[in-house]
Amino acid sequence: MLKKYFGITLLGAMIALSGCETMPTQTSASQISAINQANLVQRTWTATQLGNSMLKTEANRQNLPYLNFDAATQTVTGSDSCNRLSGSYVAGRDTLQLGQLATTRMACLNNNNLDQKFHEALNKVTHYQVYGKTLKLLDRHGNLLIQFETPTAVR
Protein backbone atom coordinates (compact mmCIF):
# COMPACT_ATOMS: atom_id res chain seq x y z
CA MET A 1 0.00 0.00 0.00
CA LEU A 2 2.87 2.36 0.79
CA LYS A 3 4.37 1.67 -2.65
CA LYS A 4 1.06 2.57 -4.25
CA TYR A 5 0.88 5.96 -2.44
CA PHE A 6 4.53 6.63 -3.20
CA GLY A 7 3.97 5.90 -6.90
CA ILE A 8 0.88 8.10 -7.08
CA THR A 9 2.69 10.93 -5.24
CA LEU A 10 5.72 10.64 -7.53
CA LEU A 11 3.50 10.68 -10.64
CA GLY A 12 1.57 13.69 -9.33
CA ALA A 13 4.79 15.56 -8.57
CA MET A 14 6.14 14.87 -12.07
CA ILE A 15 2.93 16.14 -13.67
CA ALA A 16 2.92 19.25 -11.48
CA LEU A 17 6.55 20.05 -12.21
CA SER A 18 6.18 19.52 -15.94
CA GLY A 19 3.53 22.24 -15.95
CA CYS A 20 6.03 24.71 -14.47
CA GLU A 21 8.16 25.09 -17.58
CA THR A 22 9.43 28.56 -18.19
CA MET A 23 7.23 30.27 -20.73
CA PRO A 24 8.90 32.64 -23.16
CA THR A 25 8.10 36.18 -22.16
CA GLN A 26 6.40 38.43 -24.62
CA THR A 27 7.88 41.86 -25.15
CA SER A 28 5.39 44.47 -24.05
CA ALA A 29 4.43 47.44 -26.21
CA SER A 30 6.24 49.79 -23.84
CA GLN A 31 9.42 47.70 -24.06
CA ILE A 32 9.25 47.71 -27.88
CA SER A 33 8.70 51.46 -27.83
CA ALA A 34 11.71 51.98 -25.56
CA ILE A 35 13.91 49.75 -27.73
CA ASN A 36 12.88 51.54 -30.94
CA GLN A 37 13.45 54.96 -29.40
CA ALA A 38 16.85 53.90 -28.04
CA ASN A 39 17.86 52.73 -31.52
CA LEU A 40 16.83 56.09 -32.99
CA VAL A 41 18.90 58.39 -30.78
CA GLN A 42 22.56 59.31 -30.25
CA ARG A 43 23.62 58.55 -33.82
CA THR A 44 24.20 60.49 -37.00
CA TRP A 45 21.77 59.29 -39.67
CA THR A 46 22.95 60.14 -43.20
CA ALA A 47 20.33 60.12 -45.96
CA THR A 48 20.91 57.50 -48.66
CA GLN A 49 17.53 57.54 -50.38
CA LEU A 50 14.86 60.18 -50.89
CA GLY A 51 11.63 58.59 -52.08
CA ASN A 52 12.62 56.28 -54.94
CA SER A 53 15.87 58.13 -55.69
CA MET A 54 19.21 57.02 -54.31
CA LEU A 55 21.31 59.92 -53.03
CA LYS A 56 24.90 60.20 -54.14
CA THR A 57 27.47 62.84 -53.46
CA GLU A 58 30.48 63.92 -55.43
CA ALA A 59 33.78 62.56 -54.19
CA ASN A 60 34.99 65.99 -53.07
CA ARG A 61 31.74 67.05 -51.34
CA GLN A 62 30.09 65.69 -48.20
CA ASN A 63 26.71 67.34 -48.62
CA LEU A 64 24.13 64.64 -47.99
CA PRO A 65 21.30 65.45 -45.59
CA TYR A 66 21.65 64.00 -42.10
CA LEU A 67 19.77 63.97 -38.80
CA ASN A 68 20.65 63.47 -35.12
CA PHE A 69 17.98 62.71 -32.50
CA ASP A 70 18.67 63.64 -28.86
CA ALA A 71 16.45 61.80 -26.36
CA ALA A 72 17.39 64.00 -23.39
CA THR A 73 16.16 67.21 -25.03
CA GLN A 74 13.72 65.65 -27.53
CA THR A 75 15.40 67.66 -30.29
CA VAL A 76 16.40 66.75 -33.81
CA THR A 77 19.31 68.54 -35.49
CA GLY A 78 21.05 68.09 -38.80
CA SER A 79 21.39 69.40 -42.31
CA ASP A 80 19.22 69.41 -45.43
CA SER A 81 22.38 69.21 -47.62
CA CYS A 82 22.89 72.97 -47.49
CA ASN A 83 21.29 74.50 -44.40
CA ARG A 84 21.47 73.48 -40.75
CA LEU A 85 18.17 72.54 -39.16
CA SER A 86 16.81 71.92 -35.68
CA GLY A 87 13.49 71.31 -34.02
CA SER A 88 11.58 69.08 -31.66
CA TYR A 89 10.35 65.54 -32.09
CA VAL A 90 8.15 63.00 -30.32
CA ALA A 91 8.77 59.31 -30.97
CA GLY A 92 6.48 56.45 -30.06
CA ARG A 93 6.65 52.73 -30.73
CA ASP A 94 6.75 53.33 -34.50
CA THR A 95 5.37 56.86 -34.76
CA LEU A 96 7.41 60.00 -35.22
CA GLN A 97 6.17 63.58 -35.07
CA LEU A 98 8.59 66.28 -36.09
CA GLY A 99 7.90 69.77 -34.76
CA GLN A 100 8.42 72.96 -36.72
CA LEU A 101 12.02 72.91 -37.96
CA ALA A 102 14.15 76.04 -37.85
CA THR A 103 16.74 76.33 -40.62
CA THR A 104 19.47 78.64 -41.73
CA ARG A 105 18.88 80.35 -45.09
CA MET A 106 22.06 79.97 -47.11
CA ALA A 107 22.05 80.03 -50.91
CA CYS A 108 22.05 76.41 -52.05
CA LEU A 109 23.61 76.18 -55.50
CA ASN A 110 23.90 73.08 -57.68
CA ASN A 111 22.11 70.69 -55.35
CA ASN A 112 19.11 69.93 -57.62
CA ASN A 113 16.73 71.31 -54.97
CA LEU A 114 17.69 68.47 -52.63
CA ASP A 115 17.18 70.74 -49.63
CA GLN A 116 13.60 71.55 -50.66
CA LYS A 117 12.78 67.90 -51.46
CA PHE A 118 14.23 66.85 -48.10
CA HIS A 119 12.03 69.35 -46.22
CA GLU A 120 8.94 68.31 -48.19
CA ALA A 121 9.58 64.70 -47.22
CA LEU A 122 10.19 65.60 -43.54
CA ASN A 123 6.85 67.40 -43.45
CA LYS A 124 5.07 64.14 -44.38
CA VAL A 125 6.79 61.89 -41.80
CA THR A 126 4.44 60.08 -39.39
CA HIS A 127 6.24 56.77 -38.76
CA TYR A 128 9.72 55.30 -38.54
CA GLN A 129 11.50 51.95 -38.59
CA VAL A 130 15.00 51.21 -37.29
CA TYR A 131 16.77 48.02 -38.34
CA GLY A 132 20.42 47.80 -37.36
CA LYS A 133 22.18 50.60 -39.22
CA THR A 134 19.13 51.66 -41.26
CA LEU A 135 16.45 54.22 -40.41
CA LYS A 136 13.37 54.60 -42.59
CA LEU A 137 11.05 57.57 -42.28
CA LEU A 138 7.57 56.76 -43.58
CA ASP A 139 4.33 58.57 -44.35
CA ARG A 140 0.95 57.64 -42.85
CA HIS A 141 0.44 54.99 -45.54
CA GLY A 142 3.78 53.30 -44.85
CA ASN A 143 5.47 54.69 -47.98
CA LEU A 144 9.21 55.31 -47.74
CA LEU A 145 10.01 59.02 -47.66
CA ILE A 146 13.66 59.01 -46.61
CA GLN A 147 16.10 56.22 -45.82
CA PHE A 148 19.18 56.83 -43.70
CA GLU A 149 22.27 54.82 -42.78
CA THR A 150 24.59 55.18 -39.81
CA PRO A 151 28.07 53.80 -39.22
CA THR A 152 27.10 53.14 -35.59
CA ALA A 153 25.53 49.71 -35.01
CA VAL A 154 22.83 48.99 -32.46
CA ARG A 155 24.40 48.30 -29.08
pLDDT digit string, tens, across residues 79-100: 998 899 999 999 999 999 999 9
pTM tops 0.85, yes or no: no
pLDDT at 112: 83
Which residues partner with 130 through β-bridges? 135
Lowest mean pLDDT among 37-46, 57-66, 101-110, 132-141: 57-66
For residue 55, count other CB atoms closer than 10 A to its CB. 19
The mean pLDDT value of the chain amounts to 83
pLDDT at 60: 45
3-state SS, residue 119: helix
CA distance 70 to 76: 6
From residue 113, alpha-carbon distances to 38, 55, 66, 82 in Å are: 32, 12, 16, 10
DSSP state of 60: T
pLDDT at 25: 54
Least Cα distance to 128 among 94, 98, 104, 101 occurs for 94
Least Cα distance to 132 among 110, 155, 113, 116 occurs for 155
3-state SS, residue 32: helix
